[in-house]
Amino acid sequence: MRVYLDHAATSPLRPEVLNAYTEALQLVGNPSAIHSGGQSSRAILEGARERLAKVAHCDRNEVIFTSGGTESNNLAIKGLFAERAGNLIITTAAEHHAVLDAVEYLETQGAEVHWLKLNRDGQIEMDELSKVLEERSAETALIALMWVNNETGIVTPIHEVTALAAKYGVPVHSDAVAAFGHMPTNFAESGLATMALTGHKLGGPVGTGALIVSRATKVVPLLHGGGQERGFRAGTMDAAGALALAVAAETPQPDYTGLEALAVKLITPLGNLTRGASQGIPNILNFTFEGCPGDSLLFLLDQAEIEVSNGSACTAGVARASHVLLAMGFSEAEASSALRVSFGPQTTAEDVKALAEALPKVVATARKI
Ligand SMILES: Cc1ncc(COP(=O)(O)O)c(C=O)c1O
């Protein structure tokens, strides 16, 4: 049996989701159509919106269904930027590429970016944010900070950020893809303008997701067409996908703290945990293994039937150092030796033990490569 410890990359469909999804997929009718089939699809879609809103603690009208995290982040960042007068974007270099690349694209279109520094704990310094807002709030279009980092599991104190930003009237977008469903993400209390989430990290289908857009916020759409989703996201609405996303969001995740403690106990003698125990969500752990190329670790573990990842982008088969760890001040060598272990509802203590048993040999072999 292969051991799958890569749920932060994608997590298998949960049985509840599969049942609801396959049933809804058999419905015929565009949710915008007047006939009965269309109205049945509309009822499923709006029911899903209501259910997702309840989990996200937002108003149903604030839910904009999208194709996932990448689209939601792009819509928020490009859409807020186009809507606002300023041309400064405040963010960090540890964001997911769905944010980084959108921001870097906007740089080619005249945006200026203030990259907030991160400390070794992966946290921004509030003083730096405060200073840049004090000096440049009139020029600031938006702040984009992820709620949970998908490589390290580190949690950003979003409420502190939004409280500060509110003093200057600057909207805050958060990529909550790794947070939503895994920790409390109460949108109404968050002070956020927009929040991105996706289905497939929760046991929902790939290709489902949402951007929560507060009532007070407007974004210029990326897609123009039929005016669906408050005019923010044109395209025939995917009622079955919306339902599957809502069911995945409603299905609670298990408590992963026991697995986290076990993994920390068994793996830290072999590698270094890249965050403090209290700084992250329990389902994502990241270790560095001195002197081991990350891609060799992955390859050797895969041969031992264990599937993990290092979270770093792998372009055309060339493994690169983790941009997240580099942004936190880790050396190139450390950032190239990372391994991300992430849990899902199917993960057992045996899976964690299998990884810990395979690692000494894998690490020793990788060091020789
Ligand atoms: C933090 C984060 N943001 C955005 C995304 C992109 O989401 P999607 O795969 O749904 O486009 C991911 C997926 O890896 C992610 O981990």
State in Å: Cα 40 to ligand 1 middle. Answer: 31
Stated as kind and residue range, the H or E segment containing 194 is strand 194-198
pLDDT value of position 86: 96
CATH of domain 15-250: 3.40.640.10
Per DSSP, helices labelled H in 109-220 are 126-136, 158-167, 187-190
Whole-number Å distance between alpha carbons of 9 and 245: 17
Q: Strand, coil or helix: what is 16?
A: helix
Q: What is the pLDDT of residue 279?
A: 84
Residues whose CB is less than 8 angstroms from the CB of residue 242 and which lie 6 or more positions away in sequence, other chains included? 44, 45, 48, 49, 52, 65, 208
CA–CA distance, 141 with 49 (Å, rounded to integer): 29
Which pLDDT value is given to residue 148? 98
Q: Is 347 exposed, middle or buried (0-12, 13-18, 19+ CB in 10 A)?
A: buried
Cα 276 to middle of ligand 1, angstroms = 23
Q: Per-residue pLDDT tens for 215-258?
A: 999 999 999 999 999 999 999 999 999 999 999 999 999 999 99
Residue ranges covered by each domain of the chain = 15-250, 254-368
Q: What is the pLDDT of residue 315?
A: 53
| d(CA 323, ligand 1 centre) in Å | 15
Pull the structure tokens for residue 250: 């409603």
Whole-number pLDDT of residue 320: 81
Q: Can you give the three-state secondary structure of 111-138, one letter per residue?
A: CEEEEECECCCCCECHHHHHHHHHHHHH
Ligand 1 first shell, C-beta below 6 A: 68-70, 73, 96, 98, 146, 150, 175, 177-178, 198, 200, 209
Q: Which CATH class is domain 254-368?
A: alpha beta
pTM recorded for the entire structure: 0.97
* Domains 15-250 and 254-368 fall in the same CATH topology: no
The closest residue, in CA terms, to atom 9 on ligand 1 is 69
Mean pLDDT per 10-residue section of the chain, whose length is 369 residues: 96 98 95 95 98 98 98 98 97 98 98 97 97 98 98 97 98 98 97 98 98 97 94 96 98 97 96 87 97 94 96 61 96 95 98 98 94
